[in-house]
Amino acid sequence: MNHVAAPWHLQPPDLADIRAAAEAAAGQLVRTPVLESERVNRQLGGRLLLKAEGLQKTGSFKARGALNFLNGMSAETRSRGVIAFSSGNHAQAVSWAAARFGAPALVVMPLTAPATKVARARYWGAEVQQVDWRIHDPVALCRALAAERGMTLVPPFEDRRILAGAATLGLELIEQATELGVASLDAVLVGCSGGGLLAGTAIAVHGFSPSTRVRAVEPEGFDDLARSLATGSRLTNEPGPESICDALVARSTGDLTFAIAQEHVTDSVTVDDQEVLEAIRYAFEEFRIVLEPGGAAALAAILGCPSWMEGRSVAVIASGSNIDAALFRQALGG
């Protein structure tokens, strides 16, 4: 049987793509720190490295993919503008990246998007349309608006350029772990929604540290990847469940990101909202950083099963810090 190759943009990035994305972003993004606490290590019985990606531009890893996508556009195409759909972090990232190039941006966000994420997308000059995603399909809406206005849709995860940008985080992590004297990480835990960060990180980590296990973390009720890996078929989440992890509630991974996960990801575990709130508090008390719920999911998984740490070196990706003040106070018990 003859198989037709997927279009270039729907193929996984390779290590050359990742290095090129890192070089193109030099001076435009933050090389976010990897934090380590002697006290935490003693509590857990191993070495825990926390990649503080919430200190990235726009407060999340999404800036990496958005910038790489826009870097690869022609000036003429950028001038017509870009459009994106997002619950918040991708919207902010696309708005910020567009502003760097003086390009118009339109972002479609759900009515439930955190107020701070909506406000910051607008801060970067984007036009924001908020709609009820239970009624309006954001993908179809964005495609229609893109065709009407001549804009380019910047996908949140299902694109080689987006994944190559996200993968620069994994490249940095391996470099930083080596600098800290960790010859080989035993595992890396990454929150998963559409799978962009997970897929990009997994490719980078296995490209530069093949023996490291990559484990996904999903919110309770949004475990499509765990079920998909178990069955070998890409499944979706049914409507109904809710989670405070607004950045991790996609209906499913993409075809591309799921295929990468099948090759590179060991398994996927779930965390509930209370565990995530406790992880937000723990990150503040022990590392003095602020995390949003989706950004705290990987840490929550470790705290919920500390036996994973015994005698091991494990990294968690703290992927974002865009949390509303009221929810942060709740996490701290205020």
- Catalytic positions are 62, 319
Q: Which residues contact 13 (CB under 8 A, 6 or more apart)?
A: 21, 160, 161, 163, 164, 167, 200, 203
Residue type at 110 in one-letter notation: P
Rounded CA-CA distance 180/53 in Å is 17
Element (H, E) at 242: none
Please name the residue ranges forming H helices in the chain: 15-25, 38-44, 62-71, 75-79, 89-101, 115-123, 138-149, 160-179, 196-208, 224-231, 255-264, 273-287, 293-304, 325-331
